[in-house]
Chains A and B, each alone.
Chain A
Amino acid sequence: DIQMTQSPSTLSASVGDRVTITCRANQSISSWLAWYQQKLGKAPKLLIYDASSLDSGVPSRFSGSGSGTEFTLTISSLQPDDFATYYCQHYNSHMFTFGPGTKLDIK
């Protein structure tokens, strides 16, 4: 089975900071990776699919990169609305696995 890990589990940052979250798979998953943002008490929101493609309406300060086993989500300049938990997710052939999440909070 494909297992996903994320680091760090918690990240403290300030408005305006550039932050990077890493997601790793225990075997190659090509570019079959999505990123979601979840705020407390709300459903996840799709940000990125195919490792680097922004979903419609997602601000350009979000970007994704990587392939194979290592992926990153970068927020170029943190905005107050960005403090949330971020999840990566692998998708392929009816196997869909989420990472454990990275909580981004205010320093």
Chain B
Amino acid sequence: EVQLVESGGGLVQPGGSLRLSCAAAGFTFSRYEMHWVRQTPRKGLEWVSYIGTSGRDIYYADSVKGRFTISRDNATNSLYLQMNSLGAEDTAVYYCARDIDFLLGVFDIWGQGTTVTVSS
């Protein structure tokens, strides 16, 4: 079964750090571009970051640029998001999502999400 499973969410204090992981299964992970997308009740769905198949091509939303780092390990079928200098505005459900293999930016497989809460 094709699936993505996120982990690593939790409660963190403002200014703190957190590392999210996403385990991929059921498909050849190294062949797919990947993304992180987050969702809040106030702002809705917001694309966060993109990483190409080899990990060389990387893009971030302006709202997280300089604070978040996306990476991947194709040997272990894993995607990561290192989040630093967290603020209340980063509180959200974070999803990893697979890019459909013939269009950039269409998300055909999503994980179940992991919740990040930034609060003192």
Question: From residue A73, how far is it (CB to closest CB) to chain B in Å?
Answer: 15
Closest approach, in angstroms, between the C-beta of B109 and any C-beta of chain A?
Answer: 8
**Complex CA–CA separation, A46 to B45 (angstroms):** 14
Known: A91-B104, A91-B105. A43 touches B110 (CB 8 A): yes
Closest to A45 in B: B110
Given contacts A43-B95, A44-B45, contact A91 B110 (CB under 8 A): no
Task: Tell whether A94 pairs with B50 under 8 Å between CB atoms, given A34-B106, A55-B108.
Answer: yes
A6 to chain B: closest CB distance in Å? Answer: 10
User: Interface majority SS on A: helix, strand, loop or mixed?
Assistant: strand
Residues of A contacting B113 with CB < 8 Å? Answer: 43
Contact A91 B103 (CB under 8 A): yes
Shortest CB-to-CB span from B68 to chain A, Å, is 15
Residues of chain B in range 8-56 having any CB-CB distance to chain A below 8 Å: 35, 44-47, 50
Interface of A with B (CB < 8 Å)?
A: 32, 34, 36, 42-46, 49-50, 55, 87, 89, 91-101
